[in-house]
Amino acid sequence: MEMLLLSSDVSIIPATSEDIIDLMDIERRCFKIGDRFNYRQFWYLINKGTGIFRLISFAYLFRGYFYIGSVNTRSPRIYSLAIDPSHQGLGMAHYAMLWIECFCLQNGFHSIRLEVRIDNKKAIKFYQKHGFKKYDRKDDYYADGCDAILMKKDLQCPKMDS
């Protein structure tokens, strides 16, 4: 099994069908009813999807996940990034963003996109802290009628000191 160790406590590993029940539990705690993936959607994304589905584990226990879609386009999209609310603030989302950016750069991508609920101030602040900029808005995007903010980050390889 592929595993990228990011610190002594946080690792990023591929998701499998056996993880779906736990994924649904985190989904239930992180998202509103109309915004959640269901069992069938998780199964498809893990087994048939063309994107990258990874689990975020902390101290060897699964605590979050992310899914990057549109990896066969010029600008991949973060479809979902979720950390169990009881484990937020420990740096797992930060490590996930580092992994996502490294993946994108290693695969020749120069930008990454996402959308976020306009009322999710915590997520918007997190993405802005990681260099994402707002570039558009989609009215009535979510099931409950909430608007979405579209964000994008242009990726650059870090400059090395000579």
Q: Confidence class of residue 162 from pLDDT cuts 50, 70 and 90?
A: low
Q: Which of 67, 153, 151, 162 lies closest to 105, judged by CA?
A: 153
What is the rounded CA–CA span in Å between residue 61 and residue 9? Answer: 9
The answer on pLDDT for 23 being more than 50 is yes
Confidence at residue 91, expressed as pLDDT on a 0 to 100 scale: 81
DSSP β-bridge partners for residue 96: none
Helix (H) or strand (E) holding 136: strand 133-138
- pLDDT tens digits for 89-135? 878 889 899 999 999 999 999 999 999 999 999 999 999 999 999 99
- pLDDT tens digits for 48-93? 988 899 999 877 778 899 999 887 777 899 999 999 888 888 788 8
Q: Where are the domains positioned within the chain?
A: 4-154
pTM: predicted TM-score of the whole model, two decimal places:
0.85
Confidence at residue 5, expressed as pLDDT on a 0 to 100 scale: 42
Give the CATH H-level superfamily of domain 4-154.
Answer: Gcn5-related N-acetyltransferase (GNAT) (3.40.630.30)
Q: Confidence class of residue 3 from pLDDT cuts 50, 70 and 90?
A: very low
Query: Structure tokens of 160?
Result: 């090395």
